[in-house]
Structure 1
Amino acid sequence: MQSNAGKAILSDPFSDHFEVGVNGGTLQVARAGPPPEASAAVVLAAHGVTASLMTWRSLARVLGDDVCLLAPDLRGRGHSAELPGPYGIAAHVTDLLGVLDATGVSSAVLVGHSMGAYVLARLAAEHPERARALVALDAGLPLPPVTDLEDTLEAAVANVIMRLSITFPSAARYLEGWRAHPAFADAWDEDIEAYARYDLALNGSVARCVCNPAAVRADTEELVSDPVTRTALERVQCPVYLLRAERGLFNEPDAALITAADLRAFAAAHPSVQIEAVPGVNHYTLVMGAGPGPRRVATAIEAATGTIRRMAG
């Protein structure tokens, strides 16, 4: 499709949007690719702590035509923002099992970005029969116990909730705020704009992020404090693929969420895990935008589905 100016307009990569009944209401799910029963492989994707299913638009464009991508809005986010508690990682695992059950998928390749990597690592660890492989994106490494839990919790939660409390005088100013984010300044495209617009809530002329702060708080606290969640990857039995972004949340060259030292230590202790450090991308552009990140993720998924076929054969 072309605009009047001749610039290409990206089509919506999601061919279907549907709801899945879960505790307290319904979970919004988007699908790209063929239905599960007509696909060569099914991918279940989980986004980050303040993100949404729109995280996966760019990836959906570069996955193979025979791959079914199921991308839910996690409880308290996106079009699932009105779902009530209880919140927390265990609630997400239950919700995602509900997505698999509702779509008739016995097992899937699990792909998690940021917090989503911990959610799906826990699903894979506790329900190994549902996990064909796990692809963890810039997160998921076992976290050490914190020495000062209260201070760590306060800092982690405050940083996340503060962003959600910011309001803007218009939708345009809300989008300008996202476009000025250092992670997107040189990568902004229609998929990233669609990601920003999707979480926009308007009350009169006041714009804010639709994420439920109570859900974000519960999930963040659990990521920091719960040993079952922090160490879930240690108990995953299926093949694991780990991709690390070279740059940080704000595109900083020396602030990767997974440090090079931590990556080396993890690789040495887990030789069976397929690890890739992706250059030229930050925490967000590893999965979003027109850069190399989404294609590297798609390649890892293709490797995971290839493992499935070899094992099945």
Structure 2
Amino acid sequence: MRISNRKRVMVTGGAGFLGSHLCERLINEGCDVLCVDNFYSGTKDNIAHLVSNPYFEMIRHDVTFPLYVEVDEIYNLACPASPIHYQRDPVQTTKTSVHGAINMLGLAKRVKAKILQASTSEVYGDPEIHPQTEDYWGHVNPIGIRACYDEGKRCAETLFFDYYRQHNVEIKVVRIFNTYGPRMHPNDGRVVSNFIVQALSGKDITIYGGGTQTRSFCYVDDLIDGFIKMMGSNEEVTGPINMGNPAEFTIKQLAEIIIEMSGSKSKLVFMPLPQDDPKQRQPDITYANQTLSWIPQVKLEQGLAKTIDYFRKFLLL
């Protein structure tokens, strides 16, 4: 017999950029939160402010191994998400997505928990349609240097829907587009953190390719709102569902905005484009809007101001 009425929620990858924001939000909503992380790309600094809370618990654990706990909901965010981190150990990256999905789905099946998979826009690869809708199957190089992440996440989605069909596990699959905000790793190679750190340090801003490739940037608070709404949706709403900000910018535009907002004198330097780097990336969020009444609220300049302020303080430490 349970004494507490608090919802027991597990977040894998809970010490990462997105995971730490999600843990904080769940604590604030009155949940009993179990944060699981092996600290491959996450850091204790991201969750240090939560450790003293009696309703927050941390376990150092790798999701490629089974975990036996009692929870009501699972957010499966475990997997390095930046190219620098996931290409450092590509075999482990694939294992984290595939074995991790099997282990977390097995747990969800055993305890009858709802489970949300943090999938990615990378399942679309270098897309041939624009913007990307959920019914697009993607254009992915299965043997390229990004495949460990792209195909790992695609296989995880397969496993989620097979567990749903075969074992009646209640699943939620969210495809995340570029997200940014405080607690991003300063050296993760992602474009927003790269540009901000370079601008604040007075270094040249490195743009790969001609800077004409596009991205859509979603502020972290908006994405976490989407996660919470998706987890709370009807059982029939499985996804996959796109979550991102549909406002589209070129990489060169982003660099120029960051230089202006940070007051930097950095110059733009152009380098060769990495293999399989997508030329366009923009979510069609019609389904999320219709199903969850979700639409991002934070404009790029608003979110960048908070992110620049975070990195300015971080670099002074």
Which bin holds the TM-score, normalised by the shorter protein? 0.3 to 0.5
What TM-score does the superposition give when structure 1 sets the normalisation length?
Answer: 0.36
Higher normalized contact order (CA 8 Å, seq sep 6+, divided by chain length):
1
